[in-house]
Chain A
Amino acid sequence: VSDPPPARLLDPGSLGDHVDRLYRAARALCGSPEDAEDLVQETYTRILEKPRWLRSDDDLGYLLRVLRNTHYSRLRAAARRVRTDPLPDELDRLQDRSAPAPQDALDAEAVYALIAQLPDVFREALVAIDLVGLSYREAARALRVREATITTRLYRARQRLARALEDQADDRLPA
């Protein structure tokens, strides 16, 4: 039996490298871009609150786990408090040259919405592997399940997503 790998300090300066992947994961978990932004920001806030010691090189898996835990904490907190009504946003954002074209954005919006509707365990597997890009092993570690479980859940998640897409396409067909 080998010794566990030594702990290393998570480098706060490198956290910004993962923001795109975490944002996509947050979009898929929350369904709304505004909630996703808040979730990512809160995740980073939590992580930066104190030094984090990791036993693996898998920063992204660790970040995804914190993101997921933060998401569920927010859901629990939201269920406890009175919700304020979302209000229309009328402010133009800064021009983002990396932003997708409008039609692509619409397509992405639809895909995010469908992913957000998947059951939690399937959605998490799909987010970890297909959106964040973790390996099966890293995803299993991040979600604290067996690798075989991840494989099955990912398969089911993709299957449900494909069928939801098909249903959506059927709905769009003219009668």
Chain B
Amino acid sequence: MTGFRRRRVRGLPPAWLEEQRVALAAVATVNGDRAPLALRARVAAPSARRRPPAPRLARRLGALAAAATGAALLAPLVLIGGAGAVPTLQQAVALSVRPPLARVHEPADGALTLPRVRADGLPFPYWEDRFGWRAVGFRRDRIGGRLLTTVIYVRAGQRIAYTIVPGPPLPSTAGAQTIVRQGTTLHSLSVRARQVAIWLRRGHTCVLSGSGVPAGALAWLGAWRGGGEIPY
């Protein structure tokens, strides 16, 4: 504390000082609060991106080059688990309870896919008219170098989340039950009290999860191809 500030504090009435102490004590109760593990993982920048400080002239030149190449020098999005890590099923399912960050739009009359929301070119199904599941929003998260897109659907107080994990299929999960519906092979299992169905669409892993929703219902939704309008 500076001398000036210390003199000001000495001049305060004791009751006012007591208020300051009370507030500081209250704030101290949250000062041990740590970021959740999931957030820590998401913001953990890989050590590979550490770069030693450059000399001043090089820094100036570097700034010009950086301005030209923009985001190409650094990862444009926050990574979970580093660039080389593969997303896990648990991470994908964990996204399903996160809030949607953007709204989805109603499709044009008769369309069976949601407009504007795609994951590596794959659209998400529009289920509201057929099954009553209304898409309320979506979010995007980058995990292990892959951009996961999750659409949240609700119906009668229940909520399910449909995540598409682009890229090579996620590692197979032990203990899953295999179901074949309408020509699609799905794997059904429970992850932390949530029922989960996993299947592939054009080689990309799709994860549909919900709490209190029967495995059969998830499998049925996951396998529904909308008469061929939903690409598989």
Binding site for B on A (CB under 8 A): 6-9, 11-16, 19-20, 22-24, 27-28, 33-34, 37-38, 40-41, 44-45, 48-51, 53, 81-82, 84-94, 96, 98-100, 104, 107-108, 111-112, 114-115, 126, 130-131, 136, 151, 155, 157-159, 161-163, 165-166
Question: B11 CB to closest chain A CB, in angstroms?
Answer: 12
Distance of A99 Cα from B53 Cα, bound (Å): 35
Interchain CB contact (< 8 A) of B39 among A12, A23, A53: A23
Question: A24 CB to closest chain B CB, in angstroms?
Answer: 5
A-B contact pairs, 21 of them (CB 8 A): A8-B53, A11-B51, A12-B49, A16-B40, A19-B35, A38-B98, A38-B99, A49-B71, A51-B66, A81-B103, A84-B99, A89-B97, A93-B38, A94-B38, A94-B94, A99-B36, A114-B26, A157-B23, A158-B24, A161-B22, A165-B22
Distance of A159 Cα from B15 Cα, bound (Å): 10
Binding site for A on B (CB under 8 A): 5, 8, 16, 18-20, 22-24, 26-27, 29-40, 42-47, 49-51, 53-54, 56, 59, 62-63, 66, 70-71, 73-78, 90, 93-94, 96-103, 136-137, 152, 154, 159, 192-194, 211
Q: Chain B contacts of A90 at CB under 8 A?
A: 97, 193-194, 211
Distance of A115 Cα from B29 Cα, bound (Å): 12
Q: Chain A contacts of B70 at CB under 8 A?
A: 50
Tell me what chain A mostly uses at the interface: helix, strand, loop, or mixed.
helix
> Which residue on chain A has the smallest CB distance to residue B18?
A162
Asked if B159 contacts A15 (CB within 8 A), the reply is no
Question: A52 CB to closest chain B CB, in angstroms?
Answer: 9
Q: Chain A contacts of B94 at CB under 8 A?
A: 91, 93-94
Please judge, given known A-B contacts A6-B59, A34-B99, A151-B5, whether A98 and B66 are in contact too, CB under 8 Å. Answer: no
Please judge, given known A-B contacts A81-B103, A91-B211, A111-B29, whether A158 and B20 are in contact too, CB under 8 Å. Answer: yes
Asked if A165 contacts B26 (CB within 8 A), the reply is yes
Distance of A96 Cα from B46 Cα, bound (Å): 21
Asked if A9 contacts B101 (CB within 8 A), the reply is no
Distance of A107 Cα from B32 Cα, bound (Å): 12
> Which residue on chain A has the smallest CB distance to residue B90?
A94
Asked if B43 contacts A19 (CB within 8 A), the reply is yes
> Which residue on chain A has the smallest CB distance to residue B9?
A155
Q: Chain B contacts of A85 at CB under 8 A?
A: 136
Asked if A48 contacts B78 (CB within 8 A), the reply is yes
Asked if A40 contacts B43 (CB within 8 A), the reply is yes
Question: A62 CB to closest chain B CB, in angstroms?
Answer: 15
Please judge, given known A-B contacts A38-B101, A90-B97, whether A100 and B43 are in contact too, CB under 8 Å. Answer: no
